[in-house]
Amino acid sequence: MQIPAGKITAIMGPSGTGKTTLLRLIGGQLKPDSGSIKVEDLEIPSLNREDLYKARRRMGMLFQSGALLTDLSVFENIAFPIREHYSFSESIIRDIVLMKLELVGLRGARDLHPSVLSGGMARRVALARAIVLDPVLVMYDEPFTGLDPVTLGTVVSLIKKLNFSLGLTSIVVSHDIHETFLIADYVCIISEGKLAAAGSPEELMNSDSEFVQQFVHGKPDGPMPFHYPAKPLISDLLGDVSGGVDNA
């Protein structure tokens, strides 16, 4: 799989197929059993701790839950990565944080704490934190989950706007076909840990693959089974007929 620079690439597929695991591999939280993972020509799995931290400065991550630090204000949540990685003066940190908050429309909320934020506001704060170090790559893990329609539209628009205005490369993991296809330049569908299909949203919508058609149109019947693999129901109900019915 190749992620084109400067574009929004969506990673999609059935639940449990490895989408979030892929983000963890890219970020170096997990190491692969085999294969290669490169970000800007850096082989991520082979980096030592110091070099991995340096590489992560070039990556932003929007976690599925937002993952804001509840005891810190909005301002301090966004300032945290700067303080962790750089020795900037407080005036510089303040300017950077306020500029990022302005981008997501929450400069006026800088003194609030996460406990008083709505779900959409918390997601936007987390987005500001994800871009505070001016990364080249931003990864979004289910950014649309649990949002009302208005907030959902705002977040969709923000991802597109930030990718264009900041020159980012974005990876969006999502189950939301409609919203994701609106902003994605390229879509990769994975299944059982393998790349099953890839192309533009238009190409996938018109794909001849039964698997792709079932996934993008949400069809109940197709190559993806509804039932988890199991022995026949009758044998579960009656027990092992070869040895007699289980009287327990």
Which residues span the domain enclosing 145?
A: 8-223
Separation CA 139–CA 7 (nearest Å) = 12
Separation CA 216–CA 204 (nearest Å) = 8
Is the CB of residue 181 less than 8 Å from the CB of residue 174?
no
Asked if residue 155 belongs to a domain, the reply is yes
Please name the residues in contact with 119: beta carbons below 8 A apart, sequence gap of 6 or more.
146, 147, 148, 151
Give this prediction's pTM: 0.80
Angle at 120 between CA 24 and CA 154, to 5 degrees: 95
Judged against a pLDDT cut of 90, whether residue 8 lies above it is answered with: yes
**In the chain, pLDDT over 70 holds for what percent of residues?**
92
Task: Return the CATH number at 49.
Answer: 3.40.50.300
Asked if residue 216 belongs to a domain, the reply is yes
Judged against a pLDDT cut of 50, whether residue 59 lies above it is answered with: yes
Q: pLDDT: is 177 or 92 the higher one?
A: 92
Asked if residue 62 belongs to a domain, the reply is yes
Asked if residue 240 belongs to a domain, the reply is no
- The pLDDT of residue 166 is 83
Asked if residue 232 belongs to a domain, the reply is no
Q: pLDDT: is 180 or 119 the higher one?
A: 180
Asked if residue 116 belongs to a domain, the reply is yes
pLDDT tens digits along 72-118: 999 999 999 999 888 899 999 999 999 999 988 888 988 999 889 88
11 - beta bridge partners? 173, 188
Judged against a pLDDT cut of 60, whether residue 16 lies above it is answered with: yes
Could you tell me whether strands 8-12 and 169-173 are parallel, antiparallel, or unpaired per DSSP bridges?
A: parallel
- Average pLDDT on 194-200 reads 86
- The pLDDT of residue 10 is 93
- pLDDT tier, 247 (very low <50, low <70, confident <90, very high otherwise): very low
Separation CA 202–CA 207 (nearest Å) = 9
User: Which of 115, 110, 111 is CA-nearest to residue 70?
Assistant: 115
- The pLDDT of residue 186 is 92
Cα 119 to its chain centre, rounded Å, is 17
Q: How far does the chain reach from its first CA to its final CA, in angstroms? A: 52
pLDDT tens digits along 115-165: 898 888 888 899 899 989 989 999 998 888 777 788 788 888 888 888 888
Q: How many helices and strands in the chain, by DSSP H and E? A: 10, 8
Is the CB of residue 187 less than 8 Å from the CB of residue 204?
yes
Element (H, E) at 7: none
Contacts 24+ apart (CB under 8 A), 95-102: 96/132, 97/128, 97/132, 100/128, 100/129, 100/131, 100/132, 101/74, 101/75, 101/125, 101/128
Structure tokens of 98? Answer: 């306020």
Q: How many domains in the chain?
A: 1
- pLDDT tier, 241 (very low <50, low <70, confident <90, very high otherwise): low
- pLDDT tier, 243 (very low <50, low <70, confident <90, very high otherwise): very low
Structure tokens of 76? Answer: 């301090």
SS3 content of the chain, % helix, strand, coil (to 5): 45, 15, 40
Asked if residue 231 belongs to a domain, the reply is no
Asked if residue 119 belongs to a domain, the reply is yes
Q: What is the largest CA-CA distance in the chain?
A: 79
